[in-house]
Amino acid sequence: MPKITLSKIDTRAPKGLDKEKTKHKTNAILSQLEELQNLLFAEGKHSLLVIIQGMDASGKDGLIKDVFTSMNPMGVQVKSWKAPTAEELSHDFLWRIHQHTPSKGMIQIHNRSHYEDVLITRVHQWIDDKTAKKRFAAINQFEQLLTEHNHTTVLKFYLHISREEQLQRLNERMQVKEKMWKYNENDLKESELWDDYMKYSDQAFNNCNEVPWHIIPSDQNWYKNYLVANTILETLQSFNMKFPGMKK
């Protein structure tokens, strides 16, 4: 599998790609996703775990709203991961994650994920390289467990934005009234550690790529939404699902 190096991957749509046509394609995909999610729920044989990683202001919240809003909320659950609680820290680092994996028929979305435990923890040197390697192995085993023993398909998306785009979006949070509620003074401090985040992201992705990562150019939301929606569409179509017959 090709090595992932974020600095070599573009953050924008290919030149010449028509924005309006792409948005039209996305809308058509969302209609199909609504139907497929209903089928997934009804059949009850498969489940989907959608992991969304990205730097601050990469558009994780907006992506969830734009791509999943049309689906039936009975079949979709969203978990946003924050700093672990005291209880969570008293267990292994995957303990809290496993409690929010999808049951059959469900789509579970993780806004950030267990990958924070090999990213921010390394950037701030809360764990050493030896511990990180053990966690890489545990993550691979965890994702394999979900895949092989619960018919869970794991889709991992990294929303890849440029540092320039991130700074612009963070500044908007201080200037645009409708976005001020998102402002967190710590975001700019974390942005100063950009190079470290890129380095440790590369290492995490390349050590935990048995379930492949999808690196999504995300400077333009319309292109980001299209890529993610289309990947989910192709995944659900691959399940070859059928509505169950009448219950006896």
Note the pTM of the prediction, 2 decimals. 0.95
Mean confidence (pLDDT) of the chain: 95
Please report, in angstroms and rounded to a whole number, the separation of the first and last CA atoms in the chain: 47
User: Using the 8-state DSSP alphabet, how is residue 248 labeled?
Assistant: -
Residue 147 CA to residue 49 CA, distance in Å, equals 10
pLDDT given at position 245? 78
Q: Look up residue 144 and give its amino acid.
A: Q
205: three-class secondary structure by DSSP: helix
Which domains are present in the chain?
19-238 (3.40.50.300)
Q: Give the up-direction half-sphere exposure of residue 170: CA atoms within 13 A in the CB hemisphere.
A: 19
Query: Is 80 exceeded by the pLDDT of residue 247?
Result: no
28-45, pLDDT tens digit by residue?
A: 999 999 999 999 999 999
* Inter-residue contact 69 to 106 (CB < 8 Å): no
Residue 200 CA to residue 167 CA, distance in Å, equals 20
User: Using the 8-state DSSP alphabet, how is residue 112 labeled?
Assistant: S
pLDDT (mean) for 212-234: 98
Query: Is 90 exceeded by the pLDDT of residue 180?
Result: no
pLDDT (mean) for 155-183: 90
100-130, pLDDT tens digit by residue?
A: 999 999 999 999 999 999 999 999 999 999 9
Joined tokens for residue 235: 């995944």
Residue 13's region, left for phi above 0, alpha for psi from -120 to 50, else beta, is beta
Joined tokens for residue 33: 């996703």
